[in-house]
Structure 1
Amino acid sequence: MKRKMMATLALSTALLLTIVGCGAKEDTSGSSNSAAPNNTSESPAAKNYSIGISQYAPHPSLDATKDGFLAALKDAGIVEGENLKVDFSNAQGESSNNLAIAQKFGSENNDLVLGIATPSALALADTIKDKPVLFAAVTDPLDAQIVSNLDKPGGNITGASDTNPAAITQLMDFIAENFPKVKTVGVIINEGESNAVIMAKQAETALAAHDIKLIKATVTATSEVQQAAQSLVGRADAIYITLDNTVVSAVDAILKVAADNKLPFFSSDRDTVEAGAFATVGFKYYDHGYQVGQMAVDILKNGKNPGDMKITIPEKLDLILNLKAADALGITVTDAMKDKVKDKENNIIQ
């Protein structure tokens, strides 16, 4: 019996040593060992991003949109020259260039593309279906057929409209209330831009409520803007321009005609007022671009689906006046006009 017990003990000891030996071998092979600290783990590599930006024309509002867009990315840690590569193309106001830019971006491995202004955005939307597409400075994305639903655009596209119809109505109401001698307003317009046509129609409707007539001076190219402005002298009591890329690109020519003939000049964007127009109801395009940049961050860093993201419009509207421009245009600025401005510190330009 004693001999049998000793044999059993020897066998148990051998089995135990075998198990321990196997365990030691597994530990030295690099397998997990819950008791040992993990000193070899590494942080995942930092993400690098590539974005394509297509801008229809060079002018202050669109430039400010781009700057605001990139600023929002930077504030979220996506910085051009560090972890962000930006491929920027400007169509120089030539619609024929938009398709070529869109096709170029479609062949590149961008994480996201942005179209600034309706023609550029439309070309991207029609061409690129396999990566996120954002748009900014688009007047009416429904009418332009960029999207079919503002609340849930679907597919791979979303963005922000730069027009709140209330802004146009408020500006026309301001003209009617404060410029009783104005019976006709002349609009310089490229009717090839759907955004300009829509806005002009809204202005016409708003002015008609005050028995003021809207007359058109049409152009097809920037080089025609000065002649169009001159054609309004003697026919219009004031000049108005929409977010018309062709026209805004030649705004200096309009400013000169308006000043030479003491014609009140109204615009649809803050940047043109800062350049010398008298008034608008609007917002800062930098802020508009920043808003779209925040949408880009949600897509790039948070994995949001563009098609599920609601199209936004400017909501923080205010009257913006340029007092220096008023002197050049022969306008007497009254306290009643200034009282219409909510944020007087920022929106009364001295």
Structure 2
Amino acid sequence: MRRLLCTAAGSVMLLTGAASAAPLSVDITAIVQHPALDAVREGVKKGLADAGMKEGTDVTFAFESAQGSPATAAQIARKFVGESPAAIVAISTPSAQAAAAATKSVPIVFSAVTDPAGAQLVKSVEKPGGNVTGVSDMLPVKDQVALIHEITPDVKRVGFIYNPGEANSVSSLKAFKEAAAASGLSVVEGPATRSADVQATVRSLVGKVDALYVPTDNTIVSAFEGAVSVANSAKLPFYAADTDTVKRGALAAVGFNYFDVGVETGQVVAKILKGEKAGEIPVVFAKGTDLQVNKTTAAKIGLTIPEAVLGRAKVVE
């Protein structure tokens, strides 16, 4: 039989005997389920398959969502650690933080984490140390601010809707404010700590801002339909960092294809399953951005998307 040993340093060793090898287990957790995070999960499987690891034969998967609750994320992390998997994949910052708090030995690969060093998941992105590494989706905020100017040049005040309890979003807010200030935009914060608060937060910004923006914030994105319905009623352009929200009603987004982010994550997991130590693998930064726009939403709010933008868009809804 082949057995998996997780050492105190977080490394993985395979002991091979005469019998056929048992598949290695990879436990996947996410703070909540929505299209972008679901795409990451499927991408992880593809990344491992591309690395020659066949599901059911070489690797098996378990998945649990925390349904937006950090306390549940911590429970899931402890449960997974008790199962001694070959690796834990933690999608989103809260889930990654919960997993990192639960173990210093089982390898952890995070995904869709904007600022892993700021979230104290790694010592540095070049040399993570410990048992944690992964893939960062650091947002292209300058491109996002430029898009706001290009589609809606008269916008002066942008409402930034986010959960201040998400480290990702706090880092994104800082970066967005810097990019906005450099281009003459002011930012009005719209905090919402629960998905149930999102619509009320959007309503509170009506009349105070000229446009809305949401980063890759899981609390807001999981309640996006309600948020965008309020924005449309108020004729407010709603921009996003999560490209999956465009088909859900966002006016436009410049961001990552999260299936591709998952594939990159799966490639990191494969390295660990093949013997590399998580803490010795540098953090990977997601590559490539997509521009997506929604002409239906534009029509609802009485806006025309410039032809130059439509011509560059990878997806037009």
- TM-score with structure 1 length normalisation? 0.81
Q: Is the 8 A contact 1:172 1:206 kept in 2?
A: yes
Match of 1:234 among 203, 207, 225: 207
Aligned to 1:255: 228
Aligned to 1:245: 218
Aligned to 1:211: 184
1:337 aligned counterpart, secondary structure: helix
Offset of residue 338 of structure 1: 3.0
Number of equivalences: 301
Offset of residue 77 of structure 1: 4.2
Match of 2:62 among 59, 67, 87: 87
1:202 aligned counterpart, secondary structure: helix
Task: Verify: 1:108 aligned to 2:47, yes or no.
Answer: no
Aligned to 1:289: 262
Aligned to 1:348: 315
Q: Which structure is higher in helix share?
A: 1
Task: Verify: 1:129 aligned to 2:107, yes or no.
Answer: no
1:274 aligned counterpart, secondary structure: coil
Matches for 1:245-324 after TM superposition, within 5 Å: 245-300=218-273, 302-324=274-296
Task: Verify: 1:196 aligned to 2:169, yes or no.
Answer: yes
1:86 aligned counterpart, secondary structure: strand
Unaligned runs of 5+ in 1: 1-41
Bigger shift: residues 83-92 or 279-288: 83-92
Bigger shift: residues 185-194 or 319-328: 319-328
Task: Verify: 1:53 aligned to 2:28, yes or no.
Answer: yes
Amino acid at match of 2:27: G
Task: Verify: 1:65 aligned to 2:40, yes or no.
Answer: yes
Unaligned runs of 5+ in 2: 1-16
Bigger shift: residues 238-247 or 175-184: 175-184
> Alpha carbon RMSD of aligned pairs, Å?
1.8
Offset of residue 117 of structure 1: 0.3
2:61 aligned counterpart, secondary structure: strand
Q: Is the 8 A contact 1:324 1:349 kept in 2?
A: no
> Could you list the per-position Cα deviations for residues 159-179 of structure 1 after superposition, in whole angstroms to 9, with x for gaps in the alignment?
000114xx1111112212432
Q: Which structure is higher in strand share?
A: 2
Q: Is the 8 A contact 2:199 2:226 kept in 1?
A: yes
Q: Is the 8 A contact 1:233 1:261 kept in 2?
A: yes
Matches for 1:315-334 after TM superposition, within 5 Å: 315-334=287-306
Matches for 1:140-179 after TM superposition, within 5 Å: 140-164=115-139, 167-179=140-152
Q: Is the 8 A contact 2:110 2:134 kept in 1?
A: yes
Offset of residue 262 of structure 1: 1.6
Offset of residue 109 of structure 1: 2.2
- TM-score with structure 2 length normalisation? 0.89
1:262 aligned counterpart, secondary structure: coil
Bigger shift: residues 175-184 or 112-121: 175-184
Specify whether residues 251 and 150 from structure 1 end up closer, same or farther in structure 2 by C-alpha distance, changes over 3 A only. same
2:285 aligned counterpart, secondary structure: coil
Matches for 1:18-29 after TM superposition, within 5 Å: none
Aligned to 1:37: none
CA distance in 1 between partners of 2:53 and 2:296 (Å): 39
Q: Is the 8 A contact 1:54 1:101 kept in 2?
A: yes
